[in-house]
Homo-oligomer: A and B are copies of this chain.
Amino acid sequence: MKQDTQILYELSRRLKSPYDELFINSAEFGKLLGVSQQSSSRYLTRLESRGLIERKVTGRGQSIRLTERGVEALRKMHTELENFFRTHAEIQVRGRVVKGLGEGAYYIGKYSERLKDALGFEPYQGTLNLDVKGKFSPERAKTIRIEGFKEGNRCFGDITCIPASISHGKSKVDCWIIIPERSHHRDELELIGKFNFRKKLGLRDGDVVEVSFS
């Protein structure tokens, strides 16, 4: 296992810039790495012999700076992490499939016609519930509003729908996040779509899926 980069990284944390230098003794540098003075010294001589750092060793410590090659090694790591974390236009939330209360199917049935009008298709009569541990915040999302209605003496409130997609493994299908007017489950996300997602994506309780929306 390459550990050179790990040491270069710990060094970089103590430098203000790639051209800065650190004056330190091998015992103190060892503490930064969680190793002994001897190992620290060994690491530093090794990094120097590999052309990743330059040192001026004195009787009172040593000044350490990265060489061009050392900086390049860190820059490569930085670039790859930058790419990994680059925020996509899409907002992504990861959630875990959980059992719904069975209410979903009932309500989708009641709203069926209105959903068909708004979304352009008649949704599968059931919801997929995801545990997202409060990580969902739809502030900036595009939404579609479905107005509430009364049936007899029962009230059915407004619903907000967010077009999204759900992906699991290599599969990705369109879906809609639905948010009842008075949402009580802040930690759960309710999804509807053309299909039974559990069958379509082969989902079981506890599976982790990713929901993307704009």
A residues sitting closer than 8 Å to B (CB atoms) are: 1-3, 5-7, 9, 12-13, 15, 17-19, 21, 33-35, 39, 54, 63, 65, 74-75, 77-78, 80-82, 84-85, 88, 92, 94, 169, 208, 210
Q: Is the CB of B13 within 8 A of A84?
A: yes
Shortest distance between the CB of A57 and any CB in chain B (Å): 15
- Residues on B with C-beta less than 8 A from A208 are 54, 65
- Please name 28 pairs of A and B residues whose Cβ atoms are closer than 8 Å in the assembled complex, sorted by A: A1-B3, A1-B33, A1-B34, A1-B39, A2-B34, A3-B3, A5-B6, A6-B6, A9-B80, A12-B80, A13-B80, A13-B84, A15-B84, A17-B84, A17-B92, A18-B85, A19-B92, A19-B94, A19-B210, A63-B169, A74-B81, A74-B84, A74-B85, A75-B85, A77-B77, A78-B78, A78-B84, A82-B82
A6 contact from B3, B18, B65, Cβ within 8 A: B3
Question: Which B residues are CB-close (under 8 A) to A7?
Answer: 1
Known contacts: A6-B2, A65-B208, A208-B54. The answer to whether A78 contacts B74 by CB under 8 A is no
Distance in Å from the Cβ of A168 to the closest Cβ of chain B? Answer: 9
Among B18, B19, B63, B77, the residue within 8 A (CB) of A9 is B77
A169–B56 CA distance with the chains assembled, in angstroms: 12
| A78: chain B residues within 8 A (beta carbon) | 78, 81-82, 84-85
Of chain B, the residue at the smallest CB distance from A35 is: B1
User: Shortest distance in angstroms between A33's beta carbon and chain B's nearest beta carbon?
Assistant: 6
Pick from A3, A19, A74, A92 the residue with the most CB of B within 10 Å: A19
Q: Which residues of chain B are within 8 angstroms of A5 by Cβ–Cβ distance?
A: 6
Specify which of B9, B82, B92, B169 is in contact with A21 (CB 8 Å cutoff): B169
**Among A17, A63, A94, which residue has the most Cβ atoms of chain B within 10 A?**
A17
Q: Note all chain B residues with C-beta closer than 8 A to A2.
A: 6, 34
For A17, the chain B residues whose CB sits under 8 A away are 84, 88, 92
